[in-house]
Amino acid sequence: MGLFDWLNDQFIDVIEWTDSSHDTMVYRFDRHDNEIKYGAKLIVRESQVAVFVNEGEIADILGPGTYELETKNIPILTSLQHWDHGFNSPFKAEVYFVNTKRFTDLKWGTKNPIMVRDPEFSMVRLRAFGTYEIRVEDPRVFLQEIVGTDGHFTTDEIDAQLTNLIVSKFAAVLGENDVPALDLAANYEKFGEYITKRISPYFKEYGLELTKILIENISLPAEVEKALDRRSSREITGDLDANLKYQTGEALGNDNGSGAISDMVGMGAGLAMGNQMMNQMNHTNSKAQAATPPPIPGSEERYFVAIDKESQGPFGIDKIKTMVQAGSIRHDTLVWTEGMEAWQKASTVLSTLFRSTPPPLS
């Protein structure tokens, strides 16, 4: 470096940074040997902070505004350099400009499907993708944990890590969710807000704020989507008879509809054959049912009897007759059988048995 270049570096007294890249998160201001003139002007624009680093240690952090670099506005650096009594010579320090604006339209997406339980499909694999937005919340933590000594740090350098973080946490949140897959599309906005709230604490560990996650699509596997398309087609068809009449009318009204008419005739013949086969099957089933003999009368009649305030049985009708004849069952004895709402007297339920029972011998 020539003498005049060195002199120019010594007397340059404006430190500022303007960004036109839209993806730069941190920029280190280049100075020869990191020398800054005492009283130099520092311009920090809105959505920026300036971070002074002295011998690898973060010192002062200045927000938006215009400063003359003196001991009063860089107190930490002053303390580190022992400038308490003032100075007027150039000093050495690195100046990092941290962009605090919101970085938008960053992409995220699942590399592999996520297996989840679904109320309607039992188990299903889902893919998802969308965008997210971030901003630097804590410049000190961001420089210490992520940037290091990188003099030009862009979103591309951290995008992959943040995407992996989103996807891993998204899988856990999706697994806890009980909304059916078919209803997720109607809840993208609420679901995105919920995920943002759940994932944002992990971004704070990097000094970042996750301001928003947008879900553009949550998709099912291709095979499931085809099955849903077939089901949707059937639902759209609606009443098959009305649909056929409509298509027939359309075909007849079309001058060039001979092919369509043939198709409709073939479809009608197929439906007629299907109806004929269905009628024949119903007729066969009716004959088979008619040939089946009814159950033997009385074979299923079984009764419970209340004797000494205890339920006994069930007994068949033959056993009941014997008990009536033996006097074990009297007119006021309570009995019950299937179909009755409550216990009733035997004289009401089994009246025919009492009429056919001869009186006891005197």
Same domain for 216 and 115? yes
DSSP 336: E
d(CA 96, CA 146): 14
Residue 308 CB-density burial (10 A; 0-12 exposed, 13-18 middle, 19+ buried): exposed
For residue 50, the model assigns a pLDDT of 94
Q: Which residues contact 1 (CB under 8 A, 6 or more apart)?
A: 32
290 Cβ neighbours under 8 A, 6+ residues apart: none
Decide if 247 is inside a domain: no
How many of the other CB atoms lie within 10 Å of CB of 161? 11
DSSP letter, residue 144: I
Question: What pTM was computed for the model?
Answer: 0.57
Higher pLDDT, 195 or 271: 195
Mean pLDDT of 276-304: 61
Q: What is the domain-level CATH number for residue 313? A: 3.30.1490
pLDDT digits (tens, 9 = 90+) for 292-311: 555 455 455 788 888 888 88
Same domain for 132 and 144: yes
Name the phi and psi angles at 186, rounded to 5.
Answer: -80, -10
Residues with Cβ < 8 Å from 60, sequence gap 6 or more? Answer: 51, 52, 73, 74, 75, 76, 77
Among residues 60, 69, 56, 67, the alpha carbon closest in space to that of 98 is found at: 60
Number of structural domains in the chain? 3
Residue 30 inside a domain? The answer is yes
Laid out side by side, the sheet with 14-15 consists of 14-15, 41-44, 65-68
Given this model, what pLDDT does residue 182 score? 75
Q: Are residues 123 and 185 in the same domain?
A: yes
- Residue 3's pLDDT is what? 47
More confidently predicted of 239 and 185: 185
Residues 88-135 pLDDT 10s: 656 788 899 999 999 999 999 988 888 888 777 778 888 889 999 999
142: helix, coil or strand?
Answer: helix
User: Domain for residue 40, yes or no?
Assistant: yes
Give a yes or no: residue 231 inside a domain: no
Whole-angstrom distance, CA of residue 53 vs CA of residue 217? 44
Residue 210 and residue 123 share a domain: yes
Q: What is the mean pLDDT of the chain?
A: 78
Q: What is the pLDDT of residue 49?
A: 96
Residue 249 lies in a domain: no
Query: Do the beta carbons of residue 228 and residue 167 sit within 8 Å?
Result: no
What is the domain-level CATH number for residue 187?
Answer: 3.30.479.30
Split at pLDDT 50, 70, 90, the class of 332 is: confident
> What is the structure's pLDDT at 73?
65
143, 25 contact by CB (below 8 A): no
Length of the chain equals: 362
Task: Specify if 193 maps to a domain.
Answer: yes
Task: Summarize pLDDT for 57-91 with one digit per residue, the tens.
Answer: 888 899 999 988 876 667 666 666 655 555 565 67
In 3-state terms, what secondary structure has residue 215? strand
pLDDT at 6: 47
Same domain, 25 and 50: yes
Do both 151 and 180 map to the same domain?
Answer: yes
Cα dihedral sign, 40-46-48-52: positive
pLDDT tens-digit map of 6-60: 444 455 578 999 988 889 999 999 877 777 887 889 999 999 999 988 888 888 8
Tell me: do 50 and 72 sit in the same domain: yes
H/E/C letters for each residue in 146-170? Answer: HHCCCCEEECHHHHHHHHHHHHHHH
Q: Single out the residue in 99, 133, 151 at which a domain terminates.
A: 99
Question: Which of 99, 133, 166 lies at the terminal end of a domain, its last residue?
Answer: 99
For residues 111 and 146, membership in a common domain is answered with: yes
> Cβ contacts of residue 111 below 8 Å, gap of 6+?
167
Distance from C-alpha of 64 to C-alpha of 67, rounded to nearest angstrom: 9
In this structure, the answer to whether residues 112 and 215 fall within a common structural domain is yes
Question: Residue 273 has which token pair?
Answer: 């054959």
Residues 213 and 120 in one domain: yes
Domain boundary among 170, 200, 220: 220
pLDDT of residue 83: 58
% residues pLDDT > 70 (the chain): 69
- Say yes or no: 71 and 140 in one domain: no
Domain co-membership, 123 together with 36: no
Residue 26 placed within a domain: yes
Task: State mean pLDDT over 166-191.
Answer: 79
Q: Residue 318 sits in which domain range? A: 302-355
Residue 265, domain member (yes or no): no
